[in-house]
Amino acid sequence: MYPTLADIKANLIIASTDTTDDDLLTTLLSAAVSYAEAYQHLPDGFYEANEMPARTQQGVVMLVTFWYESRDGGAGGFFANSTTAAQQATVAINNLLRLDRDWRV
């Protein structure tokens, strides 16, 4: 249906046996799926019953990764050397989510 905790840990290069941040990652994943549904104008819980497109899955993984790496208030990961890291990450994620957006009025 949508990315799993294992997918998120693989993207973050966290060993599958390391359960230290599982609760945090699960919470972030839930929030990212909710964000995707709202951004795409879909009802809450839509992706629990419907297949999540690959582009949206990648956006959700990127969003969880960014939130996790930036949880101390800084911008980490790929965008760490940029003063506009949060903006760049948000634009990239929203561009992926926009591709599967429900545009009906």
In a domain, 41, yes or no: yes
| DSSP label of 21 | T
In a domain, 105, yes or no: no
Domain hosting 44: range is: 5-98
Give tens-digit pLDDT for 1-35: 789 999 999 999 999 999 999 999 999 999 999 99
Give tens-digit pLDDT for 25-76: 999 999 999 999 999 999 999 999 999 999 999 999 999 999 998 887 655 5
Residues 6+ apart with CB under 8 A from 69: 12, 75, 76, 77
Into how many domains does the chain fold?
A: 1
pTM above 0.85, yes or no: yes
pLDDT band at 104 (very low <50, low <70, confident <90, very high): confident
In a domain, 103, yes or no: no
